[in-house]
Amino acid sequence: MKKIVLLAIGSGLLTQPVIASENYFEANLKVSTEFTFYPQKGKFKGQDYHANLSLALSPDFYWEWNDQQDSLTFEPFFRKDQHDSSRSHADIRELNWVHLSDNWELRTGLRKVFWGVTEFQNLVDVINQKDPVEGLNNEHKLGQPMINYSVVNDWGIVDLFLLPGFREQTYPSTDGRLRASIPVEDVLTTYESSREDKHIDLAARWSHSFDVYDIGVHWFKGTDRTPKYQAVTHNDNLVLKAHYQQIEQVGIDLQATVDSWLYKGEVIYQDNSTENYWATQVGFEYTFYGIQESATDLGVLLEAGYDQRGITADALMQNDIGIGARLAFNDAQSSSLLAGVIHDLDYHGNSFSLEAERRLGDNWKASIEARIFSPGSSNDPSNIFDKDDYFKITFDRYF
């Protein structure tokens, strides 16, 4: 944690002058109680339990001054987990200063950035490191130290990123669920760069909206957020060693809104020391508005993912089809439901998912998440999760 804060300070976060002018301050807190039920005991040692309880605290603090031209955001995160010691952790998701001008913005510190338009995976989303101990959903991210200069023009928005410092991927402990059969040993981690986790990465993105189109084009050069793994012996135990390569990647994401249709696509090309490849994720979503003259909308979606590397790819959808349905009830409780299935065309396995949420009163929200894994063969990468089907319910209390 101390290292993360120092990186944010080194990026210039705390070197900015504060001008007192109608200062505004807001503080909020979310307390999340999470209960997960596993119908089966896990297939690996240490996973012989059916239930898991977890508690998380998510405060956020926001300061604003200088006639709303300057703001400071601080979002720490704390979790205590019943069984997984690696999931009991603390992190700073955001700690950044933002300065606004007429046609440009400067954002400095620890931030989370999201790029992408597709539903099942986002190939173009390369800035932040994932936080898998929080779940398989890649929306969980670690804060990335950065200096982000953004210029707004009539012909689009240009974002330039200087990314000092790198954060390694997190992993469940040997007692955690949804993990690989062989644990990852952090102390063995290696880097292609001689500067290791101190390598300075660079990125740029142009985005624009016109007519029915939203488009983004990016370039990234630096440490790959997804490592390569090698099985080695450490202290007489078989473990995985993570190795982070240097990569250069370009990509495009495009979305078109035509009446009730939403067409989406992402394409990347990556160059690294071991291979060059391209990958794509494309699909559409069609929305039926006001089902049976109600306020409920139903969206149906279909996506296909393809990776040139085939079965050796470490992508979620290297040759897969995803089908889903989204219900938005548009009620006062913001009730919604999303269900989907991913079918692997190589191994013929399936992964089913369900997510639902609803506000309870003014200060509570209930969320449900379920996953069922049905691998097609013992060679299917998802086979490591074949005993990890789960049902999770979370209650969030807002203060």
User: In this predicted model, what pLDDT tens digit does every residue of 246-291 receive, in sequence order?
Assistant: 999 999 999 999 999 999 999 999 999 999 999 999 999 999 999 9
For residue 55, the model assigns a pLDDT of: 98
User: Domain total for the chain?
Assistant: 1
Tell me the mean pLDDT in the region 350-376: 96
For residues 373 and 5, the answer to whether their CB atoms sit within 8 Å is no
So what's the pLDDT on residue 20? Answer: 47
Domain span at residue 233 reads 2-398
CA distances from 112 to 79, 96, 122, 206, 244 (A): 19, 10, 15, 18, 21
Q: Is residue 4's pLDDT more than 70?
A: no
Out of 12-26, 73-87, 128-142, 373-387, pick the least confident. 12-26
**What's the pLDDT score for residue 9?**
46
Mean pLDDT over residues 70-90, rounded? 96
Question: What local confidence, expressed as pLDDT, does residue 22 receive?
Answer: 75
CA-based max dimension of the chain: 66
| Dist. CA 206–CA 284, nearest whole Å | 23
Q: Is the pTM of this model over 0.75?
A: yes
- Residue 367 to residue 363: CA distance in whole angstroms: 14
Q: What is the mean pLDDT of residues 68-94?
A: 95
Residue 317: which CATH number? 2.40.160.100
Residue 313 CB contacts under 8 Å (≥ 6 apart), including other chains: 277, 279, 307
| Tokens at 329, concatenated | 């009830």
